[in-house]
Amino acid sequence: MIEPLSAHLPNPDFDVRAPGRVNLLGEHVDYNEGIVLPAAIDRYVHLQAAARSDTTVDLTALDLGQRISFDVEDLQARQLPDWARYPAGVAWAARQRGLTVSGIHAVFTSTVPIGAGLSSSAAVEVAFGALWNELNGWGLSRLELARLCQQAENQFVGVNCGLMDQFASACGVKDHALMFDTRSLEYEPVPLPSGTALVIADSGVRRTLAGSAYNQRRADCEEAVRLLQMHLPAIHSLRDVSPEDFNRLALYLPEQVRQHARHVVEEIARVQQAVKYLKGGDSRSFGELMYEGHASLRDLYQVSIPELDALVEIAAHLPGCLGARLTGAGFGGCTVNLVLEEAARTFAQSLAQEYHTRTGKSAEIYLCHASEGVSLQKA
């Protein structure tokens, strides 16, 4: 049993909670300047901290049973354990921008599962970013804070992620998804259907990625743009290609490039349609788009695996399920299910049982709701 934070830091100055996130629609479109539809979820990184008078950061990761200290004026990723690179990266990125970073005593825990595709790392970054933003008076907006945390992950941790994860953790709105334009960085909260829950099913398969497969798909998208520019010279990314133009010009693309690009073009159109359905309260049509998105990720983008397909197939036949799809990069991780609240607990139990029967694997099921973004209170 993990001890409470107060057992390790009796007199904190700040109490911070930063949520994980799930992406409801718009997968693998962020690096194509598309529109995504994430939601913050009510599973959190919980951080308590007290200010220090020097530049030392003293961190305790309760879940891991590990503690480390480092100086913000001498930050080197290779000298830190993996988990500590996320808060250290935020301090590093802030100093790169000329911002003051104070020393702290900090202890944190998390209910966001690690490695499941629910952005546990982004939640850690955003929690520490919000803490230092308040402690040092940076004055960053939530979107600016998310961009700082993305810089930390890209340039210090060394993961070339887009902005969606940090954005959702920083800017989440209770009971809403966020329509986020990854090109303009404009966003709009979109209401999720009342009386529904987000049930997240962890397949138990960890993404091995996927580095090479992910990079190949990015390269195929870039190649599609290069070839399509011969016919559509004004385009800059697949975001600029309509489904109609793509269908007209698809014959000019090699088969693999064509399949991968088709997913992106059609997925961006799905998000645009999904927003209309959500605003109109049409939850069943939105759910159908989730199923379509999964089929596209499975058949065109080819990032699903049998375990994720099994979770979606089982969910589709259970009472109360409006839609289901893999969420995240694929090759393992989770599915997200939009389920009527009244059926959610029975749905979760049935999904876990039938998944085990079919695959022999155990799935962790999380019954979630869309939550507020990062919150901070002075203790």
For residue 15 the two structure tokens come to 């109490």
Q: Which residues pair with 45 in a beta bridge?
A: 18, 110
> What backbone phi and psi angles, to 5 degrees, belong to 325?
-165, 160
| CA dist., res. 58 & res. 52, Å (int) | 9
Pairing of strands 176-181, 66-71: unpaired
Does residue 360 contact residue 29 with C-beta atoms inside 8 Å? no
Q: Which CATH superfamily hosts domain 198-368?
A: GHMP kinase, C-terminal domain (3.30.70.890)
Q: Which residues pair with 59 in a beta bridge?
A: 68, 106
- Burial tier of 378 (Cβ tally within 10 Å: 0-12, 13-18, 19+): exposed
Q: Which residues pair with 40 in a beta bridge?
A: 21
Please list the residue range(s) of the chain that carry CATH number 3.30.230.10: 5-182+372-378
User: CA 90 → CA 75, 123, 229, distances in Å?
Assistant: 11, 12, 38
Does residue 156 contact residue 96 with C-beta atoms inside 8 Å? no
Please name which of 274, 275, 230 lies closest in space to residue 253, comparing C-alpha atoms.
230
Global pTM? 0.93
| CA dist., res. 187 & res. 38, Å (int) | 11
- The single-letter DSSP state of residue 156 is I
Q: Is 125 assigned to a binding site?
A: no
Q: Is 30 assigned to a binding site?
A: yes
Q: Is 334 helix (H, G, I), strand (E, B) or coil?
A: strand
For residue 109 the two structure tokens come to 């825990």
> What backbone phi and psi angles, to 5 degrees, belong to 300?
-95, -50
* Torsion over CA: 32, 263, 164, 70 (sign): negative
pLDDT of residue 379: 80
Q: Is 197 helix (H, G, I), strand (E, B) or coil?
A: strand
Q: Is 119 assigned to a binding site?
A: yes
Does residue 110 contact residue 124 with C-beta atoms inside 8 Å? yes
pLDDT of residue 290: 98
| CA dist., res. 241 & res. 229, Å (int) | 10
Q: Is 237 assigned to a binding site?
A: no
Q: List b or e across 170-209, with b for residues whose CB sees 16 or more CB atoms inside 10 angstroms.
A: bbbbeebbbbbebeeeebebbebbeebbbbbbbbbbebee
> Which stretches of the chain drop beneath a pLDDT of 50?
1
Q: Is 27 assigned to a binding site?
A: yes
Question: Which amino acid is residue 106, in one-letter code?
Answer: A
| CA dist., res. 156 & res. 70, Å (int) | 15
Please list the residue range(s) of the chain that carry CATH number 3.30.70.890: 198-368
Q: Which CATH number fits domain 5-182+372-378: 1.20.1250.20, 3.40.50.300, 3.40.50.1970, 3.30.230.10?
A: 3.30.230.10
Q: Is 98 assigned to a binding site?
A: no
pLDDT of residue 213: 85
> What backbone phi and psi angles, to 5 degrees, belong to 106?
-145, 145
User: CA 117 → CA 54, 93, 113, 127, 220, distances in Å?
Assistant: 36, 24, 8, 18, 23
Q: Is 116 assigned to a binding site?
A: yes
Please name which of 319, 328, 304, 326 lies closest in space to residue 351, comparing C-alpha atoms.
319
pLDDT of residue 251: 98
Does residue 377 contact residue 15 with C-beta atoms inside 8 Å? yes
Active site residues: 165
